[in-house]
Amino acid sequence: MNIPHLLSIITWLPTIGAVIILALFKKDQASAIKKFATAWFGLAFVASLGLLWYDRTTGGMQMLEDHQWIPLIGARYQMGADGVSVLLILLTTFLGVLAALSSWNYIQKREKEYYALLLFLQTAVVGVFASMDLFLFFLFFEVSLVPMYFLIGIWGGENRLYAAIKFFLYTLAGSVVMLLGILKLYFLTQDTTITAKIGQATLNVVAGNQAARNLITTTLQEATKNGTGTFNIMYLQALGSALPMGTMQILLFFAFALGFAIKVPMWPFHTWLPDAHVEAPTAGSVILAGILLKLGTYGFFRFNLPMFPKASADEIAFRLPLIGVFGVRHVMITLASISIIYGALAAMYFVVKRDGDVKKLVAYSSVSSMGIVMLGLFALNPNGINGAVLHMVNHGIYSGALFLLVGIIYERRHTRKVSEFGGLSHVMPGYAAVFLAMAMTAIGLPLLCVFISEFLALRGVFEYKPSWAAWGALGIILNAGYMLWLYQRMFFGTIDNPKNEKLTDLSGREWAYMLPLVIMSLWIGVYATPFLRFIQQPTNAVVQQVRPDYPLPGRTQTPERAER
């Protein structure tokens, strides 16, 4: 089954909803607005389920769309998704519903603008995952900042302006550098000395199937006709592997890497994240942690690895006194490892401290978790990358859930200080159970989703260098340390704070948005294979780009079979 324009529908449906809200609803119809918006998010989710017909055995880019857009610079409206995009889009639309549902009570002012912005945000994010054109991608990538900026800046906490501006400027600074890289790449597509070296085999690998290959061909024909370069992502990936290794490729790698590393965020570019999380409204935190951070790791997966394969796999580019020879890959893996341990320790600070902020703890644990994704990506083998991609989804599930849980208690008590709680199991057993399930997910208990992805990511890293895997595993011990301690301080013991005595357990609506997350966590944990099948082919393609000699099963046949 192939629904025409499916990706465009999923992308633009939220915008239509936003326009309807802005145009048809009055300011004081708050209740109608939130119900309509939630329903609309539900609609978008249902629409995105069409992506499940992605052909997992063929792989490559599917559901393609191609339209003329700005012929002057060769930018086209091209959409397409591989398995990784499919999972991330589904995650986005899934979390969108829950985020909207969780805002019903939390947001008490300017509901109209709020839900419109949430919908706009979804368009931007889905657009990022669905773009097949780098220019279009960049547009969505940048535009996604705007709704988030307002979500934090208007509906945030006390220090919201500081956090919003910090978030906006920090990410913007990174993407400006990336823009330079994009421009350079664009001009390289017009450089015949390099484009001549692009082999058909490489194009076959990046495209993955016949339709995608045809798309590249027509794009190139259009570009030649208009005398422009091209922004087609698949072509750029093929270009990257033809690009000779050298300063140029490394500079391009870091131009992209900086933009994405800030978004991920990797240590030491992470400090905007805790501030943004603490100030953002619950739904904002859910989207921020669940999806916006994935724009960074998705960028690494989609651009840095396949476009600059030689730089990504590089281990000898630099030399420093005392350290000796090291390469780009070492830099990335070191930063990732530091992120893991550092994020975990920083998170632990908020339970060691008497009145730590639960939300900040979860924010720092995200830094740690995204470190695992980066570690898995730069393992540069199928296990590692499969684990990393799945961990993006899993992190979306569990960190989204933890932020929702923090939001639930915040709505009741208007505080997030650990010291204010204790013995909550007595009054909120349902809440305690869900929190336990999610805390256990976060620390990687088997049969819950994170275990699968952490196992695969670290397994991949072990294949590269066992000692790196050991660092990653150490971070997981620390995760268990602070999560359990947090749980103990919040839920165990007797209620010693009289304000907590009258707390009510989860309401029906709260169950409605927490249960799906618990179910997803269990589902992926118990039977991960269907999810992994989505990302297997795209991952193999990336590995083949980066490490052409990797022993992939049936590797040698793939290009030949594609020739016929």
Partner 1 sequence: MSILLWLIPLLPLAGAAVNGLLGRKFRFSERLIGTIACGTVALAFVCAVAAVVKYANSPTWPTPYVTSQDGWSFTWIAGGATEITEGQKERAQAGNTTSTRNSDGTLTASSTVKVASARGSVLNIEWSYQLDPLSAIFILIVTGVGLCIFVFATGYMHGDAGYYRFFAYMGLFMFSMLVLVLGSNFLLMFVGWEGVGLCSYLLIGYYFDRKEAGDASRKAFITNRIGDFGFALAVFAVIATFGTAQYTDVMRQASAYPIEMLGTFGIMSWIALGLFIGACGKSAQIPLYVWLPDAMAGPTPVSALIHAATMVTAGLYMVTRTNVIFQHSQTMMLIVAVVGALTALFAATIGITQNDIKKVLAYSTVSQLGFMFLACGVGAFVIGIFHVMTHAFFKALMFLGAGSVIHGMHHEQDMRRMGGLKRYMPKTFWTFIAGWLAICGIFPFSGFWSKDEILWRAAGTNYFSGGWMLWLIGTIAATCTAFYMTRLVAMTFWGRERFREVPAGGEADEAHAHGYDEMGLPHDAQLESAGDRPRHEPGEYVGEPHALPHDHHETRGGDVTDTHAAPHGHAIHEPHESPASMWIPLAVLAVLATIGGLVGIGPAFSGDGHPGGKLNIVNWLAPVVWNPVTKGFGTENEAGGAQARPATTENGHVTAPHEASEAAPYGDTGYNLAHTVERSFGSERAAEWFFILLSIVVALVGMGLGYLFYVKNPRLPDAWAARLRPLYRASYHKYWIDELYGLLVTRRTMDAAVGVYTVDAKVIDGAVNGVAALTRRTSNATGLFDRYVVDGIVNGIAYFIRGIMSRVLRAAQTGLTANYALVMVLGLVVAVLIIFYPDIMAAVRGG
Q: Which of residues 485-504 bind partner 1 (CB under 8 A)?
A: 485, 488-489, 491-494, 496
Site size with partner 1, rule: CB under 8 A: 75
3-state secondary structure of 511: helix
326, containing H or E segment: strand 324-326
Place of tokens 């490559």: 60
For residues 233 and 131, the answer to whether their CB atoms sit within 8 Å is yes
Residues in CB range of 183: below 8 A, 6 or more apart: none
Query: x-or-dash pattern for partner 1, window 201-240, by CB under 8 A?
Result: ----------------------------------------
Residues in CB range of 8: below 8 A, 6 or more apart: 65, 79
Binding partner 1 by CB under 8 A: which of 194, 522, 552, 559? 552
> Among residues 529 and 557, whose Cβ is nearest to partner 1?
529
Reduced 3-state DSSP string for 202-243? HHHHHHCCHHHHHHHHHHHHHHHHHCCCCCEHHHHHHHHHHC
Residues 4-23 touching partner 1, rule: CB under 8 A, are: none
> Among residues 177 and 480, whose Cβ is nearest to partner 1?
480
455 touches partner 1 by CB under 8 A = yes
519 touches partner 1 by CB under 8 A = no
Helices then strands (H, E): number in the chain?
A: 27, 4
> Among residues 245 and 484, whose Cβ is nearest to partner 1?
484
Binding partner 1 by CB under 8 A: which of 32, 180, 211, 480? 480
Residues 75-94 touching partner 1, rule: CB under 8 A, are: none
| Minimum distance, C-beta of residue 300 to partner 1, in the bound complex (Å) | 18
Q: Whole-angstrom Cα distance, residue 496 to residue 509? A: 28
Stretch near partner 1 under the rule CB under 8 A, chosen from 98-106, 112-120, 279-287, 444-452: 444-452
> Among residues 36 and 167, whose Cβ is nearest to partner 1?
167
For residues 22 and 112, the answer to whether their CB atoms sit within 8 Å is yes
Binding partner 1 by CB under 8 A: which of 466, 508, 556, 563? 466
3-state secondary structure of 504: coil
Residues 407-436 touching partner 1, rule: CB under 8 A, are: 419, 422-423, 425-426, 429
State the DSSP code for 560.
H
Q: Whole-angstrom Cα distance, residue 141 to residue 125? A: 7
Binding partner 1 by CB under 8 A: which of 26, 225, 319, 354? 354
| Minimum distance, C-beta of residue 317 to partner 1, in the bound complex (Å) | 23
3-state secondary structure of 62: strand
169 touches partner 1 by CB under 8 A = yes
Closest CA to 370 of 349, 348, 389, 350: 389
Stretch near partner 1 under the rule CB under 8 A, chosen from 100-108, 206-214, 230-238, 270-278: 270-278
| Minimum distance, C-beta of residue 144 to partner 1, in the bound complex (Å) | 21
Neighbours of 317 (CB within 10 A): 20
Stretch near partner 1 under the rule CB under 8 A, chosen from 43-51, 137-145, 293-301, 477-485: 477-485
446 touches partner 1 by CB under 8 A = yes
Binding partner 1 by CB under 8 A: which of 135, 140, 256, 272? 272
478 touches partner 1 by CB under 8 A = yes
Q: Whole-angstrom Cα distance, residue 114 to residue 284? A: 10
| CA end-to-end span of the chain | 25
Query: x-or-dash pattern for partner 1, window 364-383, by CB under 8 A?
Result: -----------------xxx
Place of tokens 């357990």: 505
Q: Whole-angstrom Cα distance, residue 381 to residue 198? A: 23
> Among residues 36 and 269, whose Cβ is nearest to partner 1?
269
| Minimum distance, C-beta of residue 538 to partner 1, in the bound complex (Å) | 11
352 touches partner 1 by CB under 8 A = yes
Q: Whole-angstrom Cα distance, residue 64 to residue 212? A: 7
Q: For CA atoms 102, 108, 109, 111, give the dihedral sign.
A: positive
| Minimum distance, C-beta of residue 16 to partner 1, in the bound complex (Å) | 38
| Minimum distance, C-beta of residue 63 to partner 1, in the bound complex (Å) | 23
> Among residues 6 and 478, whose Cβ is nearest to partner 1?
478
Q: For CA atoms 184, 190, 196, 199, give the dihedral sign.
A: positive
